[in-house]
A and B are shown apart, each in its own frame.
Chain A
Amino acid sequence: MRDIKSKCELELDPVFYPWQLIQGEGETWLILRQKKKINTREIKEVRNISLDMFNWSVPYKQDGRSLYRGKIKFTVYYMDKNEDDFNVTNEEAADEESCCRQLLYTAKAFHPENMKKRENIPSAFSGTVLDEIKPIEEQSFESNGVAAWNTEIPWQAWLYGEGEEQEPKVVKIHVGQVGLRTILLEVVIRLYTKPDLRLARFEKTKSMLLPKEEILYTIKEDEIQEVIGVSVNRAFYSSSVDPLTGCLSLRDLKKTTVIFVSAKKGGEKIMTASSLSNEHTKMAGFPVPLFPPAVYRCLNRVLDILKVDSDKVLCKNECLWSLEYEIEDAKEQREEKLTPAATAGDYGPAQVQAVVPLRKRPGEKWLKNNEKRSKTQAKTGMLLKIVK
């Protein structure tokens, strides 16, 4: 197999509250976000966090998709500032008030277009990103006057894809202070299936494992501290027969999302960046029937993710396509009525085959350049070359 290196620029996605879903093929990333204004004057520091509960159930499961539903419960421990800690007074209040008095009359009204460029400045507020939460001895906090914020977050998400379903996992937690008295909590939950090529649906249908590809993703407007995952989702499938090669040609819209921990200090740390692109795949060697596939399925498997720079991620993945020319249930119902001649031939036994990438046929370049030649002539020419 040959590696294909390509580049892709990702744009930073907006941050959403209280949840953000990234649905991919065989995995779903769920980012839960909570901001809580504590009823205090100012938080001195966020001390720790404990995961008190994480449960889920699967109330619905059908047609290669499962609905997961659950609850997650945390306790965040923080310390308040005492009244004595507020010893900072603005000595220049009188100057500022006098200056303000003049400006209130004379200053022009604010228009966003006249605004100076907003600067990114590292935050003075603290925060922690955790992979897992270790149990805490609560008694040690109670004695030190540490207050606690309990939060229970319900969640729900679809998981699409074939394979052996795995237990949902909390893969990353970020807790930090984002203001004088605001605590931010971000949780990343991963739902995924273990891709299994031997699963019935892939075995019974025409499948094709495409060559592994390496893609270098560049993320704009942020810096990566750590990559959490890469999610790929495809939609709007269409197919045609390539007139030149006679092989099946697939087109779809591909959305790639990189989930990462931002290196920027302050605010939300769990970020996502995405790109939407048109994908064109030629399935060389794939038997082409006289009518298009009824169902398209794609199983994307991320093999390796590597952060190569503060804004670059190298991702190696492979993709298994599966096409159904007739829906299984419908096929069973009609089986008695159909003649054997109609079902044989086109629907052969399961094939999972790795193919070499499409290469140019001998003389193809020459044929393309010669626009005056007809298709019939081209075919004749190629035939002659092969005979040689």
Chain B
Amino acid sequence: MRSMGIETEKVIPEGMPAELLAQYNINFRSCHKQENAWYVENEHDSYLIYEHQGNTEKLETALKWQDYLTGRGFTGVPKVVENKAGQLYVIVEGRTFFINELPSKVEFNGKKAENLLLAAEGLGRLHETSRGFYIDKVINNKKESWPKIFQERLTSLLTLFGMLKQERVRNDFERLYVENFDFLYSQGQEALQKMVMAGCGAGHAEHSDRTMLVNSFRSRELAVCDKGVLFLNLREWDTGSKTNDLALFINSYLPLHRWDQGLLRKIMERYRKNNSLNTCENVFLIGQLRFPSRYWLYTYQYLNGLNSIPELTQQFKSYVHDCYWRDRCLDSMESWL
């Protein structure tokens, strides 16, 4: 934890409550708004003042976790700035704010292999450092196991397929859906098979080694600094097997590299530099990687009219190609993992 001894500037940035800065000792030279945050700079440091929307209990845990990590010398997350009263976040005019101190950074570029390797290494260290962090209360109390969720989602996909087989398809999205169903559904079944093999149904890999998970790897939530990759957003945290995070990270960025087998291998090596995976976790990871999650996502968006059909069709088309590259890459991964 770090308390700021900086004088307060009188000019209030637009949209920021005047009382907020009074609770912190922050002096700034420039300020600009970024979505739900203000980027603030003074002569020596940079800060991000966030306005948090949603559950404050979950935020509190995230900030405590962030504080726990920085307290143990982990440089992959920004430092939380305490207010004058030593609180990690404040509520002003019914709005919740917190401040992160930012080192000088550059944007994370998922197309650069080196950025991915740094992130994998950082993630391994983050999981390892988080081992001692226990949350008092699990807010997001999920009882469902991944295989059960995957099974339910596959059933939904099968239901729609059965319906489309009986009726005339009406657009290219449905055409692609029907055309690629067999392949993608079999990928889903294989994923389930792997998870069962990993024994996660009986609570093995998934529950035996629960850890804090970042659970979100959007490129704007990552940054590169001189000490490695910064995980800027821990507020989406979850608990579970570390393979959940690893699978999400790989599924997020390997499509940009056409599921390059060499790169995947390096990512795994860099992760294992600071953390290790047992056989069960390896099998569980492959299962998670194989599941056609975005096939389900696009279908969900289509069924609920959440996205335009031409756009969804284009995304789906790209995903089908991803899946073919992924299938090839994962087949090879099974041999060396």
Contacts and interface: CB of A to CB of B under 8 A. Distances in A.
Nearest to B252: A94
A98 B159 contact: no
Contacts of B180: 179-180
Contacts of B73: none
A387 interface: no
A104 interface: yes
Given A90-B322, A97-B293, A98-B218, A123 B159 contact: no
Contact of A94 (B168, B236, B253, B320): B253
B176 interface: yes
A124 B172 contact: yes
A90 B175 contact: no
Given A98-B216, A178-B179, A179-B179, A121 B172 contact: yes
Nearest to B172: A123
Contacts of B324: 41
Contact of B168 (A88, A93, A110, A267): A267
Contacts of B277: none
B97 to A, nearest CB: 24
Interface string A160-201: 000000000000000000111110000000000000000000
B17 interface: no
A84 to B, nearest CB: 12
A329 interface: no
Interface in A80-98: 86, 88-98
A94 B251 CA distance: 7
Nearest to A37: B179
A121 B309 CA distance: 8
Contacts of B303: 110, 114-116
A271 to B, nearest CB: 9
B309 A96 contact: no
Contact of B176 (A37, A89, A111, A180): A180
Contact of A95 (B153, B171, B218, B293): B218
Contact of B217 (A14, A86, A98, A102): A98
By secondary structure, the A interface counts as loop
Given A94-B219, A123-B171, A104 B320 contact: no
Contact of A93 (B155, B157, B163, B253): B253
B300 A120 contact: no
Contacts of A178: 175, 179
Given A94-B217, A121-B170, A99 B253 contact: no
Contact of A91 (B169, B256, B321): B256
A93 B252 contact: yes
Contacts of A180: 176, 179-180, 317, 320
A377 B185 CA distance: 78
Contacts of A246: none
B172 A100 contact: no
Contact of B155 (A97, A109, A267, A268): A109
B172 A98 contact: no
Q: How large is the interface on B (under 10, 10 to 19, 20 to 34, 35 or more residues)?
A: 35 or more
A101 to B, nearest CB: 6
A109 B156 contact: yes
Contact of B175 (A14, A86, A95, A179): A179
B174 interface: yes
Contacts of A115: 303
Contacts of B168: 12, 14-15, 267-268
B319 interface: yes
B309 A89 contact: no
A104 B318 contact: no
Contact of B297 (A96, A119, A123): A96
Nearest to A90: B318
B72 interface: no
B171 A105 contact: no
Contacts of B248: 97-98, 101
B142 interface: yes
B241 interface: no
Interface string B212-225: 00011111000000
B258 A100 contact: no
A123 B309 CA distance: 11
Interface string B226-245: 00000000001000000000
A93 B255 contact: yes
A94 B110 contact: yes
B297 A120 contact: no
A43 to B, nearest CB: 11
Interface in B16-32: none
B262 interface: no
Contact of B179 (A95, A109, A110, A182): A182
Given A14-B168, A97-B294, A105 B142 contact: yes
A114 B160 CA distance: 12
A86 B318 CA distance: 9
A109 B153 CA distance: 7
A93 to B, nearest CB: 5
B300 A103 contact: yes
B149 interface: yes
Interface in A30-66: 37, 41-42
A182 to B, nearest CB: 5
Nearest to A42: B321
Contacts of B176: 179-180
A113 B155 CA distance: 16
A388 interface: no
Given A115-B303, A180-B179, A96 B170 contact: no
26 contacts: A88-B318, A90-B255, A90-B315, A93-B294, A93-B322, A94-B217, A94-B253, A95-B219, A96-B297, A97-B294, A98-B236, A100-B294, A101-B216, A102-B236, A105-B149, A110-B300, A116-B305, A118-B171, A118-B174, A119-B170, A119-B309, A121-B310, A180-B179, A180-B180, A266-B172, A267-B175
Interface of A: 12, 14-15, 37, 41-42, 86, 88-105, 107, 109-112, 114-116, 118-121, 123-125, 178-182, 266-268
Closest 7 CB pairs of A and B: A179-B179, A94-B252, A110-B156, A121-B171, A116-B305, A100-B297, A98-B216
